[in-house]
Structure 1
């Protein structure tokens, strides 16, 4: 039996498309893995640095994930609750409040922590306490607090609003406060009767996940080529076996 490869145009075009798609998506996942690796290095380096003291001046340049320290006072009149922020499988909110920096006409938004939602109390504000007077707090600088799916149109941003997502620019427009262009995820201090949870999730790097996806896309491209080649071989109908000599 003799096999002969038979070229087929349509399967060839389909194979080329699958190979191009698989390689392109595999390369994209590799780039994402490289970005996440760089992010992990950045997180490690900045976690080792001493807290940057914020003064409200021009030296307060946003350095995401940098530990910071700032002294001032909370402005309780414009609290915002970020909804749909579960913690350990419990529904709840992130409490965000402006913080007046001592000795400067500048404010910074502080994510004070997580508060649970009472069972059956949808739309009811959770209870919390706000320190009176000036305090020194520490935290981590963040450019955003993460985004969740927004269903419908976001309500107007008002004091004690419950929203899915918020940006510094949103709060600055609604409150008319001169806000620095970043958030602080508060880590300390933890007052005796403070019910806020400050177990902030670490930024997901997912390097292994991206590399796994890249392997799958490259494998798909390889399998497409192998399938095209293997299915292209057919028995040659014109080939006849030589008769055995008598």
Structure 2
């Protein structure tokens, strides 16, 4: 057995170029596969936390600032919207339809906090006309939950010279929003539950579920295995071709 293994290793001649390609691509594919597995595990934990906290009783808004981990906590609110500073989050699709999400400052009476409240999704079929929405003027009782994005959101900033409201953005960081308004506000977005003054409030917690990350991991590992198999095949196939070539040359000389 030792002789056959040593002989196989001796006969292995893959060539310099394939070896360099494998040395670069194989570790990359394997690392991407494990990264996808890790992301899938993170999403599982996120969804488990969401499911547990979304069925709990709402907490008081006064407790928000003292919580180390407010993600997905339900909160009971009473206060008023600031209709003058509305933000529309663009490129939000629902069932294949284009639309926006409407975010507005909400001043909570119990805690005195300014909160960035997402009132839900509304359609925007014709971009030649602005989205149509209305804002209740009277104080409202609302239930909402704290949304913490799973990872840093890529943000396309609006034109800094634009002061017109409502603002059309692709993403919004609450800290930057409060700084612009010179207000002390809560650090995370809240998403309203169905109730007065809301639109479509059915959000997916994550854009990509754990099962998709698992599928991508399997694909990366499969490609890594296929690359390794091809590399081994070429290594021994090249040796056989060289041996056959030398045998053919010897026959011609005779």
Fold conserved (TM > 0.5)?
A: yes
The corresponding residue for 2:177 is 171
The corresponding residue for 1:89 is 96
Q: Is the 8 A contact 1:157 1:170 kept in 2?
A: no
1:127 equivalent to 2:132? Answer yes
Q: Deviations over 1:90-135 (max 9, x none)?
A: 322211111111144321011112222253534x2x3333223322
Count of residues in correspondence between the two structures: 233
Matches of 2:45 and 2:61, distance apart in 1: 26
Give the superposition deviation at 1:217.
1.6
Matches of 2:208 and 2:127, distance apart in 1: 35
1:161 equivalent to 2:167? Answer yes
1:208 equivalent to 2:208? Answer no
Matches for 1:1-246 after TM superposition, within 5 Å:
5-7=11-13, 8-55=15-62, 58-59=65-66, 61=68, 63-117=70-124, 119=126, 121-122=128-129, 124=130, 126-143=131-148, 150=156, 153=159, 156=162, 158-190=164-196, 196-233=199-236, 234-235=239-240, 236-237=243-244
Give the superposition deviation at 1:210.
1.4
Q: Which of 66-75 and 144-153 deviates more?
A: 144-153
Q: Deviations over 1:7-45 (max 9, x none)?
A: 233322322322212211111111111111211211122
Runs of 4 or more consecutive aligned structure 1 residues displaced over 4 Å after TM superposition: 144-149, 151-155, 237-240
Matches of 2:147 and 2:52, distance apart in 1: 15
Q: Is the 8 A contact 2:29 2:221 kept in 1?
A: yes
SS in 1 for 2:62: coil
SS in 2 for 1:76: coil
Give the TM-score normalised by structure 1: 0.80
Q: Is the 8 A contact 2:155 2:172 kept in 1?
A: no
More helix by share: 2
Matches of 2:148 and 2:136, distance apart in 1: 25
Give the superposition deviation at 1:88.
2.6
Q: Is the 8 A contact 1:143 1:181 kept in 2?
A: no
SS in 1 for 2:101: strand
SS in 1 for 2:93: coil
Give the superposition deviation at 1:168.
0.9
